[in-house]
Structure 1
Amino acid sequence: MKKTGLMLIGLFFSCQLFFAQGAPDYTGGMKVKLNEDGTKYFRIISWAQFWAQHNSDRPADENGNDQSDTNFSIRRARVLMYAQLNKDFLILTHFGLNSLNADNMSAIGTGDRSQLFFHDVWGQYRLSNDHAIGGGLHYWNGISRANNQSTLNMMTLDNTRQAWATIGLSDQFARHMGVYLKGKFGKLQYRVSVNDALTDNLQSSATPINGGAAIYSGRRLLGSKDAGRVYAGYFDYNFLDQESNFLPYKVGTYLGGKKVFNVGAGFFLHPKGSVSADSSGELSGEDVSIFAVDAFYDAPLGDNGSAITAYALAQFNDYGEDFTLGQTYETGSMLHAHVGYVLPGGNKTKFQPYLHYTNRSIDAIDDSANQFGIGGNVYFSGHHSKLTLEYQNTKYGDNDGVGTVTLQAMIYL
């Protein structure tokens, strides 16, 4: 009875702590202590992002019918829980859904349209105070900060899509099945991993065209022995305040709550990940390699509540000869930058206008794609409760630019 009472008291005060918090680096959610000193516990975090989106350039459906200019969706709905029964072991489980709308909903929530699935399921063992090893379906990714982006505290409406450079190609929604090692040496943080590549990926039904571009189906067409492994890593040096690497999710903006300047570099390698066919139809593997360098700065500006957030990324993609898929993945290079400014004042409600720009060179079409966005966040309680309004214009090759206006409401508990 005494233990039950202590747990209920701990739960009550955990809830009070949660409702008092609004800082983006808050460890989040509801923490339930399983012993008196709190070394055994579990923590639950939940969040949802609702979108209303206007796009006057939507194409007709497959039957030739005009489509509505304005649509509603649940961009993300997630639940994450992690627990430690002692200081050496941690287990994390993360499940949810993405981009649920009227076109992909199921009549009774079942059928072949997967809505709810696991994003992360991994366990970890502490090797020392600064180093740990783990395995499972995990998010300890390589390439860049943006490829390790948390969806709880992004500054822009959403992450740069092409920065999540392997979604559906070698992984399940940016998560690989494998093992990782993470930690830090002083101010240098690192994460490296060895993983299995996905077999049933976005090109699971594609066939290489004789003398044509490569397709991303190495594991399926060449076998897991030759094309089944991927290798990734990311390293960032924390010049100013030290960021936490307890969990893999990188913060998008601290709203001036920290003074952070990090420079990073990362990689992703998939030997024989792509496949091409010569003029006679003989298949051969092509190595997939992606490299990136980036820099992140977030700091308060004086004592008036204002702050700046800035991020720059250079990413170099080789998915195989002239590879392109859905105007999303291309062999070529990408430059991305965004900057935001928290306006002075506002002890509780904060306003943050921002800009972002992305340029991608695309080998397959010998041209480029450009994306520009302007928007703003209204934070009612940090990232726990915010509204985002953004206009984004995307131009791919010689196509006309497509403009989209999105309003997002987010709740994070």
Structure 2
Amino acid sequence: MKKCLFGVISLLLLMTNNLIFAQDYWKNHQLNLNESGSNYIKLTGLVQGWVRNMEYNPGSTIYGYSKNSGTDLGIRRYRLILTSQVTDRVFFYSQFGENNFNNIADRKQGFFVHDAFADYAIDKTKLQIGTGLSGWSGLSRFSAASVTSIMGLDSPIFLQSTNDVNDQFLRKLSVFVKGKLGKVDYRFEWAQPMAIQKSPSYNAATALTTTTAFSAEPPKIQWNGYVQYQFLDQESNLTPYTTGTYLGKKKVFNVGAGFIFQKDAMWHLTDAADPNSIEREDMSHFAIDVFYDAPIGAKGAAVSCYGTLVSYNFGQNYIRNSAIMNPTNGTTNTNLLNGSGNGFPMFGTGTVLYAQIGYKFKDNLMGKTTLMPYASVQHANYDRLHDAMNYYDVGVNWLLAGHNSKLTFSYQNRPLYTANSDLTDHMGALVAQYQVFLN
């Protein structure tokens, strides 16, 4: 009996010691791999649920049934993120999840790898080199936006210029370098584009026509770069994803410039009757942008502003629609350029001016919560369109617990174009999003 009692006491002491040890090493939602916490493993998560009521593009159908408008539910994004500072010089990042899951999406097939990359710090500040599937893309700040902290309902998707055409929702297989030289933050990427034959929108029957499209030939290397000068508080570049708004926690003022280039990325026929009359064109994009995000006063109020000017060259008269979490899957209207549901010409050869602004009211405006209204506009002059393309998003965030728990209410307005590229009308959508972010 004494031996049994001694054994139980010893086991309890061992469990207590292990528990104390675990508490010492489990801090800030991460498992520390050393006493200082400089090496760690961290698991975070995100879910964004949408409820929408919208006008559908004329002629839209759902499995052949006509539908002019409707209300739909969906999961805009779901993420599980594993981050690890393996050693003082080795960093690992992986992200899993799905996008745009609604009632007509493929079931049990949407969960996929978003990121899987590692980098090695040759110099812990000035130079890191890495490889894998990642979002270290070029062009602009919000070409790789952190979806956990975006100010509006959604990030400016048009800045992900090849989104799901020859990449995986922005991410590319690549070798990249990044770092900070004083107040200069830089990233450059050498990427292998993915085969467009695996793109959801690829159609072999219409792959090569007189209309410019992405080439189906084996792709050549794509070059990406983005450099920004950070005048005030310095931002982390541990991952590719840039903060949307700090909600008054930082004072940031950055000016940046970037590019994306891929030789012979595009093609078209110069003569519809001659399948050998192929003309290849390079894809080259350039952008400049400015970002300001800072507190105002001493009670937690803040302002956030972003603007970018982009020059897109996808080749002669290129245009591409996008329909975020499209609630429809067909159309009977052949005289509409937009396609079905909520599609509109988001991408194209030409110039784009984008701006967003938001104001966060003081902390504890409504109990322990506060509000942050915002507005954004994408104004594009695409060569293919006879009239300017304007897309608006106006809304308000109800910050229940900062970005960790927030409700966003938004009104979106998109243009409609005829097949002849004439502006004909506008359509609206009301969207509510609830976000939960575990960090």
Match of 1:60 in 2: 61
Do the aligned residues in 2 keep the contact of 1:136 with 1:179 (CA within 8 Å)? Answer: yes
What are the equivalent positions in structure 2 for 1:123-134 lying under 5 Å apart? 123-130=118-125, 131-134=127-130
Select which of 240, 243, 246 maps to 2:235: 243
Match of 2:434 in 1: 409
Once residues 40 and 303 of structure 1 are traced to their aligned partners in structure 2, the CA distance between those partners, rounded to angstroms, is: 35
Alpha carbons of structure 1 residues 363 and 270: separation in structure 2 relative to 1, 3 Å: same
Cα RMSD between the aligned structures?
1.8
What are the equivalent positions in structure 2 for 1:141-220 lying under 5 Å apart? 141-199=137-195, 200-201=198-199, 202-203=201-202, 205=204, 206-209=206-209, 212-217=210-215, 220=216
Give the secondary-structure state (helix, strand or coil) at the position aligned to 1:169: coil
Match of 1:394 in 2: 414
- The Cα of 1:85 is off from its aligned counterpart by 2.4
Q: Which runs of 4+ in 1 moved over 4 A?
A: 1-4
Once residues 329 and 337 of structure 1 are traced to their aligned partners in structure 2, the CA distance between those partners, rounded to angstroms, is: 16
- The Cα of 1:365 is off from its aligned counterpart by 2.5
Do the aligned residues in 2 keep the contact of 1:39 with 1:85 (CA within 8 Å)? Answer: no
Give the secondary-structure state (helix, strand or coil) at the position aligned to 2:243: coil
Give the secondary-structure state (helix, strand or coil) at the position aligned to 1:73: strand
Once residues 244 and 84 of structure 1 are traced to their aligned partners in structure 2, the CA distance between those partners, rounded to angstroms, is: 14
Select which of 1, 5, 9 maps to 2:23: 9
Alpha carbons of structure 1 residues 62 and 362: separation in structure 2 relative to 1, 3 Å: farther
Alpha carbons of structure 1 residues 355 and 411: separation in structure 2 relative to 1, 3 Å: same
Once residues 313 and 125 of structure 1 are traced to their aligned partners in structure 2, the CA distance between those partners, rounded to angstroms, is: 31
Give the secondary-structure state (helix, strand or coil) at the position aligned to 1:401: strand
Give the secondary-structure state (helix, strand or coil) at the position aligned to 1:171: coil
- The Cα of 1:357 is off from its aligned counterpart by 1.1
Once residues 67 and 371 of structure 1 are traced to their aligned partners in structure 2, the CA distance between those partners, rounded to angstroms, is: 20
Structure 1 residue 350 and structure 2 residue 378: aligned?
no
Do the aligned residues in 1 keep the contact of 2:56 with 2:69 (CA within 8 Å)? Answer: no
Amino acid at match of 1:197: P
- The Cα of 1:11 is off from its aligned counterpart by 5.9
Give the secondary-structure state (helix, strand or coil) at the position aligned to 1:242: coil
Larger gyration radius, structure 1 or structure 2: 2
Structure 1 residue 140 and structure 2 residue 140: aligned?
no
- The Cα of 1:163 is off from its aligned counterpart by 1.2
Give the secondary-structure state (helix, strand or coil) at the position aligned to 2:244: coil
Match of 1:259 in 2: 251
Give the secondary-structure state (helix, strand or coil) at the position aligned to 1:399: strand
Give the secondary-structure state (helix, strand or coil) at the position aligned to 2:191: strand
Match of 2:102 in 1: 101
Do the aligned residues in 2 keep the contact of 1:369 with 1:396 (CA within 8 Å)? Answer: no
Consecutive unaligned residues of structure 1, counting only runs of 5 or more, are 18-29
Matched length: 384
What are the equivalent positions in structure 2 for 1:213-362 lying under 5 Å apart? 213-217=211-215, 220-221=216-217, 223=218, 227-279=219-271, 280-282=274-276, 283-326=278-321, 327-346=345-364, 348-362=368-382
Once residues 360 and 247 of structure 1 are traced to their aligned partners in structure 2, the CA distance between those partners, rounded to angstroms, is: 30
Once residues 180 and 204 of structure 1 are traced to their aligned partners in structure 2, the CA distance between those partners, rounded to angstroms, is: 32
Give the secondary-structure state (helix, strand or coil) at the position aligned to 2:55: coil
Give the secondary-structure state (helix, strand or coil) at the position aligned to 2:388: strand
- The Cα of 1:6 is off from its aligned counterpart by 5.0
- The Cα of 1:39 is off from its aligned counterpart by 3.1
Once residues 284 and 80 of structure 2 are traced to their aligned partners in structure 1, the CA distance between those partners, rounded to angstroms, is: 32
Match of 2:38 in 1: 39
Match of 2:9 in 1: none
Do the aligned residues in 2 keep the contact of 1:43 with 1:83 (CA within 8 Å)? Answer: yes
Once residues 269 and 344 of structure 1 are traced to their aligned partners in structure 2, the CA distance between those partners, rounded to angstroms, is: 43
Once residues 385 and 186 of structure 1 are traced to their aligned partners in structure 2, the CA distance between those partners, rounded to angstroms, is: 35
TM-score (normalizing by structure 2): 0.84
TM-score (normalizing by structure 1): 0.89
Once residues 172 and 190 of structure 1 are traced to their aligned partners in structure 2, the CA distance between those partners, rounded to angstroms, is: 23
Amino acid at match of 1:324: I
Alpha carbons of structure 1 residues 39 and 302: separation in structure 2 relative to 1, 3 Å: closer
Deviations 1:131-188 (A, max 9, x none): 1000000111100011010100000100112111111222111001010000011000
Alpha carbons of structure 1 residues 102 and 34: separation in structure 2 relative to 1, 3 Å: same
Match of 2:3 in 1: none
Once residues 158 and 309 of structure 1 are traced to their aligned partners in structure 2, the CA distance between those partners, rounded to angstroms, is: 15
Once residues 48 and 7 of structure 1 are traced to their aligned partners in structure 2, the CA distance between those partners, rounded to angstroms, is: 32
Once residues 179 and 104 of structure 2 are traced to their aligned partners in structure 1, the CA distance between those partners, rounded to angstroms, is: 43
Amino acid at match of 2:90: F
Once residues 85 and 352 of structure 1 are traced to their aligned partners in structure 2, the CA distance between those partners, rounded to angstroms, is: 37
Do the aligned residues in 1 keep the contact of 2:413 with 2:427 (CA within 8 Å)? Answer: yes
Once residues 83 and 134 of structure 1 are traced to their aligned partners in structure 2, the CA distance between those partners, rounded to angstroms, is: 14
Question: Identity of paired residues, percent?
Answer: 31
Deviations 1:72-106 (A, max 9, x none): 00000000101122111111110100010001142
